[in-house]
């Protein structure tokens, strides 16, 4: 099953000029737990998916909200030359096909 089949919300946004956040939200507790425990959402796996070191990835589970926040270091600061998405609004796309 792909993450896009199980998550109710998958989105990205800026978290300042040097960080991006990826938000995953789930309709029920079972879906949240399944994804929260998936090895494909480890720091190492997400880092590989985005071309980052695991040290540049933070995965924050939030059981009370049935959500997971992933914080990524931006390889290019928002607004600098080479930045293709100043708002960080299109950075969630690689997560859509992640197998859970």
Over residues 23-82, the pLDDT tens digits come to 999 999 999 999 999 999 999 999 999 999 999 999 999 999 999 999 999 988 988 998
**Which residue has tokens 């096909």?**
97
Q: Give dist(CA 5, CA 9) in Å, integer.
A: 10
Q: What is the DSSP string of 79-100?
A: TSTT-S-TT-TTTTGGGTT-B-
- According to DSSP, the β-strands at 57-62 and 19-25 are unpaired
Tell me, which fold does domain 3-75 have in CATH? Alpha-Beta Plaits (3.30.70)
Confidence band, pLDDT 50/70/90 cuts, at residue 86: confident
CA distances from 10 to 24, 38, 72, 85, 100 (A): 5, 16, 15, 17, 14
- Is residue 92 within 8 A of residue 68, CB to CB? The reply is no
Please report the pLDDT score of residue 79 as a whole number. Answer: 87
The domain limits of the chain are 3-75
């Amino acid at each position: 099953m792909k993450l896009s089949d199980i998550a109710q919300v998958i989105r990205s946004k800026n978290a300042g000029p040097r960080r991006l956040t990826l938000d995953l939200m789930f309709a029920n507790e079972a879906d949240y737990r399944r994804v929260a425990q998936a090895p494909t959402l480890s720091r190492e796996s997400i880092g590989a998916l985005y071309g980052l070191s695991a040290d540049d990835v933070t995965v924050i589970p939030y059981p009370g909200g049935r959500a997971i926040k992933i914080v990524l270091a931006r390889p290019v600061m928002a607004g600098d030359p080479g930045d293709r998405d100043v708002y960080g609004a299109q950075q969630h796309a690689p997560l859509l096909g992640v197998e859970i």
